[in-house]
A and B are shown apart, each in its own frame.
Chain A
Amino acid sequence: MKAAVTEIPDNVSEWPNWLEQQIVGMSLYDLVVGLKAINLPSGARSTLQQLCGKQLPTIYKSGLGVLSTDQLPTLFKTPDLLLELQELVLVEGGAYWDSVEQSAEDKLVVEKHVAKTIAAVGQEKSSVQIKPKSMLEQYWPVLALAAGLLIAIGIGRPAATSGGGGWGFDQSGLLTAQVTGRSYLNSLSDAAGAFSKKVPDSKEAALKRLTEFSAGCKKLIAAPNMQLEKTADRDWLVAKCTDWATKIDGHIAELKEEKKDWQDVLKDANETATKMQATLKDKALQLS
């Protein structure tokens, strides 16, 4: 448990900013436990409404600067109010609260979690369900005709080879291969290089290719990467891949928003892929 209570600034003027960081940070519970442990038991206690009910809309919009130096100590002496305020701020707080400075530790947790969550959602089926019955009702004459034709010309059987597990980091078996760390990184380097081997011939094709590349990156982030023995190396890989995924998503956004010509975006994306390839190769060489 983090001793956040020992980090309360000496200077009272720093309390509002410091408390804001605690409220949107991940140590508030530890702070409340510490405050409760060190507090003297007292009788009558304020409620949040009594303390700052009228100021809440301003707090949601622009933070705790509105509270006076008489009000702030009450939050320390009645730490349950901090938890209550946190819940309100997380739901009702405006954009101001998203801009409150984050500790480096929290920032890393969020970055890793975003990548993990995006990868997890990527593996989910679409939440929009298509009703098969209505599709059939609508298209059954066409489907029946098509099926008859397929049977007639003998191509209704499944293809002899399946499409496999994609390309790039999504390549089948790549992330689960039981190989040494060096070999794993070399395979990942080759997989990153695969991006440039196929040249999309349209903006739509480029978008599809980049979206697949990004999805592969997110799978790599979520993978255990146990081929790398040291935790530090695994962390390095996840951190790097998080950066690359952000870059690739940036290229995707540029394509969608048409800020640049699609071929220029593709050129930038190729450069990203080349850098990824080189970085992974270099790291592989460093491994014994």
Chain B
Amino acid sequence: MNFVIKDDDRELKNVVSRAKLGDKDAFATIVNALDRRVLTACNRACYGHHEFEDVATEVWLGVWERIPTFDGTTAQDFHRLAFSIVKFRSIDFHRRRLRQPGQLHADEDGSTDEPVSSDVNPLNKLILREESEAIKNCIESQADPESLTTWRMKKMEGMSYEEIMDNLSIQIGTVGSRINRVEKIVAGCMEGHGL
């Protein structure tokens, strides 16, 4: 099945109307077309935890339950239906995890210095902060500040090798070796770290 949700949404309307009547083949067509987005959303909501695929299956079962009352007309309406269920199911997932001992540790006042993005609730912020701080400690215990600065100039600022050489008054070989060193350290720290 090479079904694609087109921007004109006509094809979506057709399959959704069949799925609303209980046509499982039509629903399978929707799953085929949109599962990539649902899986990506669940992966992100579950922070890459291996259970994200099970959460995504729960989401689809939730969509199947709700589809008879779905009255949207665009692909975006359908995405909103699916992602509202992603949010609920991922909250259930995190609650289950939090009940397991030794998982997460909130500050007493729950405070954090991280910026707040539109969907990042305190729990999400906490998990993200804990993860990145653990990696940060690992990187900083092994990488020298000069190498980190060089890496940032290349990979986050997009500076050319020549610009970095001029800025830091170092040779091209040094730029390359610093970047390689940082990447090896980062890879070691991140690959050794898992949920």
Cα distance A73–B152 in the bound complex, in angstroms = 10
Q: What is the number of residues of chain A that contact chain B, defined by CB distance less than 8 Å?
A: 71
B43 an interface residue at 8 Å Cβ cutoff? yes
A127/B132 contact (C-beta < 8 A), A95-B6, A117-B35, A250-B1 known: no
Are B187 and A6 interface neighbours, CB within 8 A?
yes
B154 an interface residue at 8 Å Cβ cutoff? yes
Are B57 and A84 interface neighbours, CB within 8 A?
no
| Interface 0/1 of A57-73, CB less than 8 Å to B | 00001000000010011
Are A121 and B60 interface neighbours, CB within 8 A?
yes
Partner of A33, one of B7, B116, B187, B190: B190
Residues of B close to A91: CB separation below 8 A: 76, 79-80, 83
Q: How far is the CB of B81 from the nearest CB of chain A, in Å?
A: 10
Cα distance A161–B23 in the bound complex, in angstroms = 30
B22 an interface residue at 8 Å Cβ cutoff? yes
Are B115 and A80 interface neighbours, CB within 8 A?
yes
For residue B3, which residue of chain A has the nearest CB? A253
Question: Assuming A83-B119, A121-B64, what are 8 further A-B pairs, CB within 8 angstroms?
Answer: A24-B37, A26-B48, A39-B152, A76-B155, A91-B79, A98-B4, A126-B24, A252-B25
For residue B154, which residue of chain A has the nearest CB? A10
Residues of A close to B195: CB separation below 8 A: 1
Are B191 and A3 interface neighbours, CB within 8 A?
yes
A121/B79 contact (C-beta < 8 A), A26-B48, A84-B117, A98-B5 known: no
A211/B25 contact (C-beta < 8 A), A36-B136, A37-B132 known: yes
Cα distance A38–B186 in the bound complex, in angstroms = 9
Q: How far is the CB of A5 from the nearest CB of chain B, in Å?
A: 6
Residues of A close to B6: CB separation below 8 A: 95
Majority SS at the chain B contact face: helix
Are B190 and A3 interface neighbours, CB within 8 A?
yes
Q: What is the number of residues of chain B that contact chain A, defined by CB distance less than 8 Å?
A: 74
B148 an interface residue at 8 Å Cβ cutoff? yes
For residue B134, which residue of chain A has the nearest CB? A37
Are B7 and A95 interface neighbours, CB within 8 A?
yes
A95/B5 contact (C-beta < 8 A), A3-B191, A15-B158, A121-B28 known: yes
Cα distance A27–B39 in the bound complex, in angstroms = 12
A38/B152 contact (C-beta < 8 A), A1-B48, A84-B119 known: yes
Cα distance A222–B139 in the bound complex, in angstroms = 41
Partner of A34, one of B32, B76, B135: B135
Interface residues of B in 1-51 (CB under 8 A from A): 1, 4-7, 20-22, 24-25, 27-28, 31-33, 35-37, 39-41, 43-44, 47-48
Cα distance A86–B120 in the bound complex, in angstroms = 12
Residues of B close to A124: CB separation below 8 A: 61, 64
Are A128 and B190 interface neighbours, CB within 8 A?
no
Are B186 and A69 interface neighbours, CB within 8 A?
no
Cα distance A98–B7 in the bound complex, in angstroms = 11
A249/B135 contact (C-beta < 8 A), A2-B191, A24-B40, A95-B5 known: no
